[in-house]
Chains A and B, each alone.
Chain A
Amino acid sequence: MLISIAWRNVWRNKLRSGIIITAITLGLIAGIFSTAVYEGMVIQRVDKVIMSELSHIQIHEPGFRNSMELTGFIPNAASIASKVDDIEGVEGVSNRIIVYSMVSSAETGAGVKITGIIPKEEKKVSNIHTKLVEGNYFGEDTRSKRIKPIVIGQKLAEKLKVHLGSKVVITLQDVNNNLTGAPFRVKGIFNTLSIVFDEGNVYVRYEDLRALTGLPDGAAHEIAILAMNNEMAEVLKPKVEAVAPGLEVLTWINLSPEMNYLNEAMDLYLYIFIVIILFALLFGIINTMLMAVLERTKEIGMLMAIGMNKLRVFVLIMYETVFLTLTGGLLGVILGALISIYFETHKIDLSLWAEGYMELGYDPFVYTSLEYGMLGNVTIMVLITGVLASIYPAWKALSYNPADALRIE
């Protein structure tokens, strides 16, 4: 009957209970939705880095990542790539020649990372080909042309003041330290929505760059591997190491520890965020329950007079507080989840602030990502908040002397 009394007590003052329930509901909707937005942003950021830059696993000659020397290539990259491709769970393998050098237009020049790729293979490990806003990704029509094709970022195109069909010149030192260069025709312009990436990366065909640098046939600086999913990378790593003896095999977590940290730290920050919301609500709940207890002094005095012991009085107040909190909490969790689920498939347009987000490498269009385990944890946190909020009002009720409480009008 205590449960029944507590539940009915919640609805005695509908306006007062309604206000605090609404506050809890809105607070949790905000908390859960924000969490889902941030989670979505981080996942998008991680996926973006993996799909446009890192892939899941990379193989290099030891020391290459520090020196970035042209001579730090893997001589038998083609045969290693073919072995890696046979490993179960590998979705794609692509050999890359990487050169940091200058690309110049008639107007100006810029330092860039030039990546020589085999377009057919690269499509399996990166999504740059899906980010083209103009032209094509080393399409058929480019093969017959005399000038070699190049695909560049939109931001770089603006910087170099070039457009589709413009000629640019790549200048670099070959393996023999001779200065060399070649003209390329802009055949594709991509926009990954990451300003930094789009300004610093260009793609040319593997064979064109190999010929220019003088690297031996089948050599590459980087073997990029895409696994079935992010988690699979760690599982595949030892298998890859087995077919690439003496080479440095690194997963995306090793290559970009800040991405993994971002992922893990974000979870912690989001829980702290929810705790802050609940902490603020805690005072509202205490206030509401304190008002309820003070209003019912006489009633509590009567219950104590007829023989309700202190534990039961405490439990009665605690049930009432928990019901009040859980009603708002569950509504908040359910509505917050529904809204978050809706925006998993409907983009949130942050393009008003796009410049800032893009500078940081985030997409201006965000899709939420709801972690279902979090909903259970938030519900438990709401329950704990309810129990904590009940302590002071219940203690206040217990401090009544029944004879004094019964005298109050």
Chain B
Amino acid sequence: MSIIEIKNLTKIYDGSTVEVRAVDHIDLSFEQGEFTAVVGPSGSGKTTFLNMLGGLDAPTEGEVIIDNVDIWQLNSRKRIDFRLHNIGFVFQAYNLLPVLTAKENVELIMELQRRPKEERTERALSLLEAVGLGDRVDSRPSKLSGGQQQRVAVARALASRPKFILADEPTANLDSKSTENLLDIMENLNKEENITFIFSTHDARVMKKARRIVTLEDGKILSDEIKQP
């Protein structure tokens, strides 16, 4: 059964002279446990598509239904709350809070969910252990490498127990070793915990790992390929 249904999703930016169709009438669905890459050249609409899927950028037209909830029919307050409990985000530039340690960065989202302190600490430590940073829990982002920061970001995204994780170009700022490491972690989490990952990329190494590749061009789906195991 699909956990995400996308119907007729469209985003039009009104320029001064021409209107730009960043995403153009996309219909798509995602199943639980998918490991999907959304690919395409720059300007193909990948980020806009993920932003609308994640409830960050309002579509001009269309629906995003997650677990039978059309998130763009929710008011702003409810949509923020929906994101908090259902969607995990990993950003290209990591976007960790520099004043918090790795553990605190992971705990923050659980505090927003008002989880008890003990649960927060326990889960943050186990997630950091899972992403291979068990020995860096008290380090601030400035003391971590790019790859380590992105692993903290993955742990943060997982901390809220989301239905799926959206990752916008998660390896764009990483060297090949860190990319390999991060992809292994994400793949393991996907296989072992059945966590759904949807990520945009134009990194060939990431595409190689993905089990489904949705290719966008000029805001439209060019191809939707599911790799055979």
Contact = CB atoms under 8 A, between A and B. Distances in A.
Contact of B99 (A12, A304, A307): A12
A5 B95 contact: no
A304 B95 CA distance: 12
A347 interface: no
Interface string A295-325: 0001100111111111010000000000000
Given A8-B99, A306-B109, A306-B156, A403 B57 contact: yes
A9 B99 contact: yes
A241 to B, nearest CB: 69
A310 B99 CA distance: 20
A403 B51 CA distance: 7
Contact of B56 (A8, A312, A406): A406
Contact of B83 (A5, A306, A401): A306
A402 interface: yes
A307 B51 contact: no
B172 to A, nearest CB: 13
B97 A299 contact: yes
Interface string A375-409: 00000000000000000000000000111001000
Contacts of A302: 89, 91, 95
Interface in B122-163: 156, 160
Contacts of A5: 97, 99-100
B91 A307 contact: no
B83 to A, nearest CB: 5
Contacts of A4: 100, 104
Nearest to B51: A403
B95 A1 contact: no
B56 A402 contact: yes
Contacts, number: 64
B93 A309 contact: no
A309 B76 CA distance: 9
Given A302-B91, A304-B80, A403-B51, A1 B99 contact: no
B97 A307 contact: no
Interface of B: 51, 54, 56-57, 76-77, 80-81, 83-85, 89, 91, 93, 95, 97-100, 104, 107-109, 111-113, 156, 160
Contacts of B91: 302, 305, 406
A307 B111 CA distance: 11
Interface string A135-175: 00000000000000000000000000000000000000000
Nearest to B80: A309
Nearest to B111: A1
B99 A403 contact: no
A311 to B, nearest CB: 9
Interface of A: 1, 4-5, 8-9, 12, 298-299, 302-310, 312, 401-403, 406
A312 B112 CA distance: 9
A236 to B, nearest CB: 63
A307 B112 contact: yes
Contacts of B107: 1
A306 B112 contact: yes
A85 B91 CA distance: 87
A153 B85 CA distance: 86
Nearest to A9: B99
11 contacts: A305-B89, A306-B83, A306-B89, A306-B112, A306-B156, A307-B113, A309-B81, A310-B76, A310-B80, A401-B57, A406-B95
A5 B51 CA distance: 26
Contacts of A402: 56
A12 B98 contact: yes
A302 B112 CA distance: 13
A307 B95 contact: no
Contacts of B156: 306
A17 to B, nearest CB: 13
Given A5-B97, A305-B89, A310-B76, 15 more contacts: A1-B104, A4-B104, A8-B100, A12-B99, A298-B93, A299-B97, A303-B97, A304-B80, A306-B84, A306-B112, A306-B156, A308-B84, A309-B77, A403-B51, A403-B56
Contacts of B95: 298-299, 302, 406
Contacts of B85: 307
Nearest to A302: B95
Nearest 7 Cβ contacts at the A-B interface: A307-B84, A8-B99, A403-B57, A302-B95, A403-B56, A403-B51, A307-B83
A385 to B, nearest CB: 24
A306 B77 CA distance: 13
A4 B113 CA distance: 17
